[in-house]
Amino acid sequence: MRILLVGAGGVGAAFAAIAARRDFFETVLVTDYDLARAERAAAVDPRFSAAQLDASSAGSIADLVREHEVSHVLNAVDPRFVMPIFSGAYAGGADYLDLAMSLSSPHPQAPYERVGVKLGDEQLAEHETWRASGRLALCGMGVEPGLSDVFARYAADHLFGTIEELGVRDGANLIVEGPDGSPAFAPSFSIWTTIEECLNPPVVWEKARSDVDGGWFTTEPFSEPEVFEFPDGIGPVECVNVEHEEVLLMPRWVQAERATFKYGLGREFIDVLTVLHKLGLDRTDPVRVRGVEVSPRDVVAACLPDPATLGDSMRGKTCAGLHVTGTGKDGRPRSTYLYQVVDNEWSMREYGHQCVVWQTAVNPVVALELLAAGTWSGTGVLGPEAFDAQPFLDLLTAYGAPWGQRDD
């Protein structure tokens, strides 16, 4: 296996650190628009090399795939670059993995009622093209989406006879300390991506509504708040509806009545996002400032700390998981939370990367190892739900990243 890693930011660098401890691949070419950043990430292992790459250029990606005889392209940059990387991998002759899918567009007349272009629609439309070529595009293979989708497959195969709801519930008790030791506002993941998913209309899926838009519909941002009790000392966190790929992927492969995604953003974060939206600072289209064209969202991102640099000042744990309700294999009512908790102190000590990016990066490494071994195989544009969950969860545990199960 010869891997092209596109993006050497927080997740890309963490991927390199994790993969360097494994032996399932031959080479990894680490690429980034910033060559120095790619070189730093590639320095972890002699099997890694670095190159400069413009992720918006499908042609440049295809050229690198051919030049380096790449077998698998891993997209670890933000989702605005999904389609050129996806297309470049196909044109170059490689298989493809990503951590987030192609962007959505709200319904033009009813944005908080009906879906428009959904997350991943552009990629899923190419399923037959990829399948006919005998190639695989494994989409949404991070932590969320990714691990929770694996949990959905595991729940359907091993725990439940019928599923009422597949409810992704993510939360954390992370605190970023400022220079004076007091809590600072510093998102632990890409603010560009966070703005995109949190301010877009959240998507919910219900089987009973499948005669309209396939069962997918939208609500207002931050809707339907609920307090969810997270394990391992994190405790109760208020979670709200957020647009996310799991809701678009799970119903395609797992039988259920309803699918939702709720995230524990916290009141301060919601207030900040609301103000950004009111001021138009969430916009991606450029505005002219003193003769210079600049995207407001890019300015916001540039004003905040790089999430990859926050590890030393971050304290606490992050939890990603799936709450499943329905009936068990024995026909009795069942409610189970499948989850993974990562402590920032542990990930920094063991890998030198903060817990949120580490938890995202470990999952594509596991997936690539399963593909290299032939344990996972498939063609077309597929989500993690399309594969056997048990080998993934077993290997994840072997990586030192165990998962948990809580029966309510």
CB 102 within 8 A of CB 122: yes
Kindly report, residue by residue over 222-233, the tens digit of the pLDDT. 899 999 999 999
Quick one: tokens of 176? 């970023």
Beta bridge partners, 74, equal: 5, 97
3-state secondary structure of 150: helix
Domains of the chain: 2-98 (3.40.50.720), 147-358+403-407 (3.30.360.10)
- Residue 182: per-residue pLDDT: 63
pLDDT of residue 9: 93
pLDDT tens-place string over residues 325-382: 999 999 999 999 999 999 999 999 999 999 999 999 999 999 999 999 999 999 999 9
pLDDT, residue 196, reads: 77
Q: What is the enclosing helix (H) or strand (E) of 14?
A: helix 10-19
CB 95 within 8 A of CB 118: no
Question: How much is the pLDDT for 186?
Answer: 59
Q: Which segments in the chain show pLDDT lower than 50?
A: none
Backbone angles phi, psi at 296, to 5 degrees: -55, -40
pLDDT of 183 reads 61
